[in-house]
Amino acid sequence: FLELPRRYNAATHFIDRHIAEGRGAKTAFIDDKGSCTYAELAARVNRAGNLLKAQGVKPEQRVLLAMLDSIDFPAMFWGAMKIGAVPVPVNTLLTTPDYDFMLRDSRAVVLCVSDALMERFRPIISGQPYLEKVLISGQVPPTVTPLVKLLEEQSDQLETAATTPDDIGFWLYSSGSTGSPKGTMHLHSDIVHTCVLYAEEVLGIRESDVVFSAAKLFFAYGMGNAMTFPLHVGATGVLMAERPTPNAVMKRLKDHQATIFYGVPTLYAGILADQGITKDSGSAMLRRCVSAGEALPEDIGKRWEKTFGVEILDGIGSTEMLHIFLSNRPGEVRYGSTGMAVPGYDLRVVGEDGKEVAAGEIGELLVSGPSCAVAYWNNRTKSLATFHGPWTRTGDKYVCDKDGYYTYAGRSDDMLKVSGIWVSPFEVESALLAHPKVLEAAVVAHADTDELVKPKAYVVLKAEFIAEESLIGELQMFVKDRLAPYKYPRWIEFVAELPKTATGKIQRFKLRA
Ligand code: 3SK
């Protein structure tokens, strides 16, 4: 744990410090509409804090942020934290009932929403028991004052709330495979730990970096990637509101000559599969690529490095731990493995009895570290099931080899036992992905006529290939040639796309159903 002063507000470190350190004129963020310097950002954060105060927001009250990536996001996020209120960024891809749940569950008193998302909130605004004000970023009807105008009317001076490192700083909703999303409560002190331990010590981020994240700011992954990491070192973050298609992503990398790119495996695969994209479509300055969200298949990592000349650092984090706690290191990448523990985090792989398993054996990964959430809001049962003293259950199965490298082996509930032997769906998927015709694959347990579980694969083919009956046998042989024979998929179904979470994780439970 870093030693932080007893009076600590994260906005001092991430926003105001840059002025004192003479970084005021440096570009902090570039979005689709323009850019802002560190000095302009600090002023905008103060205006946002004053605006929230003027709306009646008090310390510890929640402010729901349903915002597409733009400079308004950091302004509102840090403005809320600076006055001791609690910003709750939410996934911008959700439905009206999801937002209804989050507004009620969080008891947010103010909602700040991007104009494009307003349609999904309109039907539920009037019935909210706690919500008092709605602020709209972007275009508004003539009767409404837009966020930009409301901010202009506020003072750019603001006193920082007298919070401590242990005050609740912000929440992020975490969704499991069952039940309602859980408001994951993080402290003011949590953010700086992820910046020092992962961004500085593993990624090696520096002030001269220009970073771009395909994962949006409302995800823990994107929030660190494109907001807190660059703000920690005084670098520049590029923000993009639109969906991260391969072309939109490559354009941002090229236009801003990004030095660090953070993506997810599906996007890396999509870029590699796009015939129109070459090394020159991206940034000549790119020096680091990061992947998280789900394990990066070996083949994708190798092909990316061959094509773009930059290795991908595959890592894993969680909303509960705020960012990556297990990662490959620059210059020591082992594709197919998620790497080693990030210094400052402890890892254990345990069996069903809770005892640590031997090297080479599969178990559930537990993690302990200083950025861990304190609990889930209003959900004692799920808090107790996840947070065990200093240890947090990840629900991910891993194997640790004798060198300390961890290899992903699927979710706890996705693993399948075939003839009494554990089979990792990820291993079978990786084998399928190495086939030149396969774009994506997901493997789940499927019962045969004897009710015995065997692997079944759902496969998305690359656009230029047709799903033919003969390809099933070809793919089965391909897997059998690479893995222990019992692991090959007994059934293969070709599909147009795989069900995924907003972070790009394959929802195998949907395929099982
Ligand atoms: O999905 C991940 O691996 C991840 C990484 C960083 C932060 C948050 C998450 C969920």
Structure tokens at 90: 């939410």
The CA 407 to ligand 1 mean position distance, Å, reads 16
Q: Distance from the CA of 319 to the center of ligand 1, in angstroms?
A: 6
CB 185 within 8 A of CB 220: no
Closest-CA residue to 421 (of 374, 449, 453, 467): 453
Complex ipTM > 0.95: yes
Cα of 112 vs its chain's centroid, Å: 21
How far, in Å, from the CA of 294 to the mean position of ligand 1?
8
CA of 127 to the centre of ligand 1 (A): 34
> Residue whose CA is closest, atom 4 of ligand 1?
317
Q: What is the pLDDT of residues 341-393, one digit of tens each?
A: 999 999 999 999 999 999 999 999 999 999 999 999 999 999 999 999 999 99
* Cα 325 to ligand 1 centroid, rounded to whole Å: 9
For ligand 1, whether the C-beta of 292 sits within 6 Å is: yes
Closest Cα to atom 9 of ligand 1: 318
The protein residue with its alpha carbon nearest to ligand 1, atom 5, reads 317
Q: Is 344 in the pocket of ligand 1 (CB under 6 A)?
A: no
Atom of ligand 1 nearest to the CA of 505: 1
Alpha-carbon gap, residue 333 to 393, rounded angstroms: 25
Q: Is 235 in the pocket of ligand 1 (CB under 6 A)?
A: no
Using the mean position of ligand 1's atoms as its centre, give its distance from the Cα of residue 331 in Å.
22
Q: What is the DSSP letter of 160?
A: P
Residues in CB range of 105: below 8 A, 6 or more apart: 180, 181, 183, 377, 378
- What is the structure's pLDDT at 412? 77
Closest ligand 1 atom to residue 219 Cα is 8
Q: What is the mean pLDDT of each run of 10 residues along the chain (513 residues)?
A: 95 98 98 98 98 98 98 98 98 88 98 97 97 98 96 98 98 75 96 98 98 95 98 98 96 98 91 95 98 88 97 96 98 97 98 95 96 98 95 94 92 71 81 95 88 90 95 97 88 95 83 86
The pLDDT of residue 178:
53
Q: Looking at ligand 1, which residue's alpha carbon is closest to its atom 1?
A: 293
Q: What angle do CA 367, 369, 372 make, to 5 degrees?
A: 90
Whole-structure pTM value: 0.88
C-alpha 316 to ligand 1 mean position (Å): 6
Q: In terms of DSSP H, where are the helices of 195-235? A: 220-223, 229-233
User: Which atom of ligand 1 is closest in space to residue 315's alpha carbon?
Assistant: 3
- Residue 173, sorted as left (phi over 0), alpha (psi -120 to 50) or beta, turns out to be beta
